[in-house]
Every structure is written in C-alpha cells, then in structure tokens.
Amino acid sequence: MTRTAPEPPSSRPATAPGAPAPEAPASTAQTPAAQTSAAPEPAPGPASGTPAPGPASAAPAPDPAAATGAGPVCRRLEGRTAVVTGAGSGIGLATARRLAAEGAHVVCGDIDQSAGKAAADEVGGLFAHVDVTDPDQVEALFRAAYDTYGSVDVAFNNAGISPPDDDSILETGLEAWKRVQEVNLTSVYLCCKAAIPYMRRQGRGSIVNTASFVARMGAATSQISYTASKGGVLALSRELGVQFAREGIRVNALCPGPVNTPLLRELFAKDPERAARRLVHIPLGRFAEAEEIAAAVAFLASDDASFVNATDFLVDGGISGAYVTPL
C-alpha cells in the first residue's frame, strides 16, 4: 500500500536519545519551469528507529530486469530505505522500480503530484510532493523517509531539467541559466545536506547524484547551463565522498550517456538534427534505456559497491571512450 506523507510541521525531526539532531532533510523536483509545491510531512514514525511496515508488506514490486535485460535482481537492499527524487518518470521511475525490486523501502519524491504518487503506488512506497529547490521541502522529504521507515540508507538525487532555452552561451539568458543551476545543482546540494546527518548517525549510507557524461566531454550542440550544472555535481560528489568516507558514507556521481527518456525525447523532437549528431558518436549505436541506468544506481547503492566512492561512474555506451565509431 502506498503512503502519502502529510504536511510537515515547523519543528525538526525527533532524534534518538543521545544522538545529534540531523540537519535539514531533503525534497525533489522533476519538471522545468515553476517548481513550487508544499512539502508533505511524514506520518508518525517509529521512535525506536525500527522501520515501519512499508513496501515489504505490499504486493511484490515488479522485476524491471526481467523485461529489460538490465541485470539480475538480487534483493541487495532488503529492508533499507531509499529516497529517489524525480521519481515520477524517466530514470527516477526506473530506479524506484529497481530499488523496490531489490528489497528497499522507496520514498518517491516529485513535483508532479500525479506521476509521483503513481510511482509510489506501483512500488508500494511513500510519496512526497516536493520542490527540490526549496530547502524546507527537501528537509521534509528526508524527515518523512526517516520517520516512516526508521533510516535513510540510500539517496538518489536525480531530479533535473533540460529546457530548450538552455542553449549556446550566446543565446542562453541569465534567468534560464539560474533556473537550470537551481534544479540541477543546488537541489543536489540541498539533498546531500539533508541526507548526510541521518547517515552519519547510522554510520553508513550511499548517495548517488545524477551528473552526466557531458560534464566530462565538450559538445558543439551546447546546453551551457546544463553542462555546467552537471560539472558542479561531479565536484560536489567527489568532495563529499572524500569528506565522509570514514563515517561509512559513500558518495558517487552517476554519469549517464544519452538515455531514452521523456526529457531527451522532448528535447530531440524539437531538434532532430541534434539527436542524429549525438547518436552517431555512441559505439553501441543506440541511446540507453532508463532501466540500464537504474541497474547502475542499484549497484552503487548496494554493498557490492562498498569500495566505490568519490567517482564519476560512467554509463554511456562507450561514448566517452570513442574517437571513431563503427559504421
């Protein structure tokens, strides 16, 4: 059964006896333009820190790997709590499905009420309506995860936008630049700031921040603010991974290549030439499917990646390693 987090109170989350109070918890956004929505608040959670009944008590989550060939599901996240921002579509939705199939309690954050709740319904998780650029709503998102399930084990900070008015530096206005930076980079800062105190208290956690292969490579088909924002995600993730490693917290930047998502389809529908110019550079000859990226997130979130930290984790079909691609 899906849980919907109610409106958050002004007070901060209760802490376990003798434990330091965590800093502001986090939220989520997945759409361009206006990202303003009231952050929901968690249902009363377990005072003891024992996870409350969640997805495990709902109908079994679908096995995304079975249909996509993205890799076997091994229940590597059994009983853990994962927060996914931008969970209503694309990579976020595929990842919510995969993490639930791996045994996690999934908290689906999205600014799109309908899509986000549908995702949570599907995976038997908790939905939180959230704007990831709003510190209070981000705080409420992570507080909801902790209060409902008793831990914050995985944070997949994935919400992002790629609007058409983000183009060449010669064409992109300051407002377009700022909007992309807020959603793609500032939101990652806010989500990490909110998640880390819970993870420090637990002595473990895995944070996966969505960057992009474009942060590693230049492109003549520029989206200047998007590229710069993803470069910021790389630097932020690297620094946090180093800073908190000895407290059991791993932080990695996920760098997908072009992915067959609504975001990319919308962008390329407006400019088919741009799509063709990118596709030719991928050695595998196709864009990734969201489920393939979700499989990488599941790996990074799990103990299978216990020695993977502060990295730029490329899942790009070989595009970053190619000079001349096959005919």
User: Which listed residue (149, 189, 198, 226) is catalytic?
Assistant: 226
315 has which bridge partners? 256
Coil, strand or helix at 105: strand
Place of tokens 């067959």: 260
| CA–CA separation, 131 and 232 (whole Å) | 20
Q: Count CB atoms within 10 A of the CB of residue 279.
A: 15
226 classed as catalytic: yes
* Nearest to 81, CA basis, from 4, 19, 144, 25: 144
| Residue 308 CA, distance from chain mean position | 18
CA-CA distances (angstroms) from residue 85 to 31, 55, 93, 227, 285? Answer: 11, 17, 9, 20, 29
Backbone φ and ψ for 170, nearest 5 degrees, come out as -75, -20
- Active-site annotation, residues: 226
